[in-house]
Amino acid sequence: MQRRTASREGTPTRSPSRSNKGAVEVSGTRPSRSRSTEAMAGTCKVCGGSSWDSDNIRGETICADCGYVAAENMIDPGAEWVNHSNGDDRSRVGAPSTLTLSDKGLSTEIRRSDLTSGGARKHGMSGKALRDWRRRQRIDQRSKTRDSRSRNLSTAMQFIRDRGDLPPQIEQEAASLYRHSVDRGLVTGRSIRGVSAACVYIAAREATIPRRIDDVAESFDMISEVEVKELKRTIRLVARNLGTHHITGPDEYFERFHSELGLPPHVLGMARDLWNKVRDDLSWQGKKPSGIAGVVLYWASQNSTSPRTQSEVCKVSGISEVTLRGLLKILNQMNQD
C-alpha cells in the first residue's frame, strides 16, 4: 500500500484509504466551488516532481507522484459559510472596501432610517431610548472625523463621488491619486476642491477617456479665471509628483464628440481614417488636442450626409470659430498635399 510522507518529523503518516473495518471515511465538499486553498510552486523536495494535488477537506497540498505532504493547515481565503437565518445567501463577508470613502467603508455606522419615528416603533424603542440612540449616532459620526486627515479625506471623497462623474473603476483611481497626494503633502496650502478636481482630471486622462479642463472646473464650481489657472497648476503639480505623464491625443476625443454631436457611425470611421492619414504631420504640434478632434469631425461631417455647423462643433470641442477655421485651413492643406 502506498503511503504519504509527512511534511515534518513527528507528524504521523497517512494512508489514502483504510482497509480496516469500522474505519471512518472522510467525505464531503465545501458549500461553494469558489473556495480554494493556497497552491504550491516549485518542485517536490522528495521526488523532484512538479504536480501537486490540493485536499480542500484537510487543507493540505500533496505531491501527485510520491504522496509527500508539502503543506498542511493552509488558510482558506473563502467566505465563512455559516448561516443562522436559513436564507439562500450564506455569505457573511459584507461589502468590499472602497477608496472613495474616507474610512474605506470598513467602519460600522448607526443608520438614520433606524432612528426615525417609524424605525423606533418597528424596533420597540421608547422616546427616551430614541433620544439616547440619536445622541450615540452623533458621537459616532464625530469620532470618525476627529483628526484633520479624516476630515480632509471625507470632504475630498465626497467631491469625487458627487462631482467627478466617472465610472466606478476610474473613480477608485481618482480616490487613490488623492490619497497619494495627501501622503506627499501636496494638499497642504491648497484647496481640497482644487486637488480633488485635479485628481479627477488626471484619472480620466490616464484611462484614455479625457475631460476638458473647463468641463472639470465647471463640475467643481471653479468657474473664475483665477480658479481655472490654479486648477491647471495643480494638475501639473500632481502629475509631476505622482508620475502620471500620459499625453492625451485627439483620437481619444473622437467617440465623445461624435456622440455629443449625434453623428451617424460612418462619420466616426471617416474621422479616424483622416486622422491616421495626417497624424504624423508636424503642423499639429502645439495645437489643442480637443480642437484638432473637433476640426477632424467637422471635416468628416461636411463630407457626409449629416453635416454639422461650426458653432455646434465649437461648442462641443471648446474652441472658438476663428480657431476652428484656422485648423481647417491646415487640414485642407494636408489633404491637398
**218 and 254 inside one domain:** no
> So what's the pLDDT on residue 8?
42
Question: Is 234 part of any domain?
Answer: yes
The CA-based angle 74-77-78, given to 5 degrees, is: 125
What is the CATH classification number for the domain harbouring 176?
A: 1.10.472.10
Question: Is 100 part of any domain?
Answer: no
What is the CATH classification number for the domain harbouring 20?
A: 2.20.25.10
pTM for this model (two decimals): 0.62
Question: Is 102 part of any domain?
Answer: no
In this predicted structure, the answer to whether residue 238 has a pLDDT above a threshold of 60 is yes
Question: Is 282 part of any domain?
Answer: yes
**190 and 258 inside one domain:** no
Q: What pLDDT, in 10s, does the model give residues 58-72?
A: 888 888 888 888 888
Of 28, 59, 94, at which residue does a domain stop?
94
In this predicted structure, the answer to whether residue 38 has a pLDDT above a threshold of 60 is no
Reduce the DSSP state of residue 218 to 3 states and report it: helix
**154 and 138 inside one domain:** no
Long-range contacts for 253-259 (Cβ within 8 Å, ≥24 apart)? 253/210, 253/289, 253/290, 253/293, 253/294, 253/317, 254/293, 254/296, 254/297, 256/209, 257/290, 257/293, 257/294, 257/297, 257/313, 257/316, 257/317, 258/297
Q: Where residue 77 falls among pLDDT bands split at 50, 70, 90?
A: low
> So what's the pLDDT on residue 337?
64
**231 and 263 inside one domain:** no
4 DSSP assignment: B
**% of residues, the chain, pLDDT over 90:** 35
Alpha helices in 145-191 (DSSP H): 148-163, 168-183
Domain that holds residue 122: 112-144
Q: What pLDDT, in 10s, does the model give residues 118-164?
A: 888 888 888 888 888 888 888 887 777 777 888 888 889 989 999 98
**158 and 128 inside one domain:** no
The total number of structural domains in the chain stands at 4
**166 and 221 inside one domain:** yes
> So what's the pLDDT on residue 12?
42
> So what's the pLDDT on residue 200?
95
**12 and 80 inside one domain:** yes
Question: Is 255 part of any domain?
Answer: yes
In this predicted structure, the answer to whether residue 199 has a pLDDT above a threshold of 90 is yes
Tell me if 31 sits within 8 A of 90, measured CB to CB: yes
Q: What pLDDT, in 10s, does the model give residues 111-131?
A: 777 888 888 888 888 888 888
Of 242, 272, 288, at which residue does a domain stop?
242
Of 209, 242, 275, at which residue does a domain stop?
242
Question: Is 29 part of any domain?
Answer: yes
Q: Where residue 108 falls among pLDDT bands split at 50, 70, 90?
A: confident
Q: CA-CA distance, 297 to 314, in Å (whole number)?
A: 11
Q: Where residue 285 falls among pLDDT bands split at 50, 70, 90?
A: confident
- Highest-pLDDT range among 142-151, 186-195, 275-284: 186-195
